Amino acid sequence: MPGISQTLRKQMVSFIHEVRTLDLKKLPSVSESIDWARVLVLLQASELGHEVVKDTLNVLLKYEADIEATMPQVSTFIAKASRQNVFG
């Protein structure tokens, strides 16, 4: 994805990996991941934060039930993604 920072790219990969471990109706595909990356670049996000994820999760996940199931884990997933960026 042109224009995406290395930090954001690594955090997104980690975050999406964590989301894919959940029991969701539809796990995010490559297409949804690219769409989410585009939105984050348009919003000029340099890294994942709780607010930007909360505001854009509907791009990554297509079903309201999946969004509701994921929301309680967002902070944990962001923390893991941030650690991955530091150590990974």
Please say if the pLDDT value at position 82 is more than 70: yes
Domain ranges of the chain: 6-87
Give residue 37's pLDDT band: very low, low, confident or very high (50, 70, 90): very high
21: three-class secondary structure by DSSP: coil
| pLDDT tens per residue across span 56-80 | 999 999 999 999 999 999 999 999 9
Beta-carbon neighbour count of residue 28 at 10 Å?
22
Token pair belonging to 83: 């650690």
Nearest Cα neighbor of 60 from 42, 80, 76, 38 is: 38
* Residues constituting the chain: 88
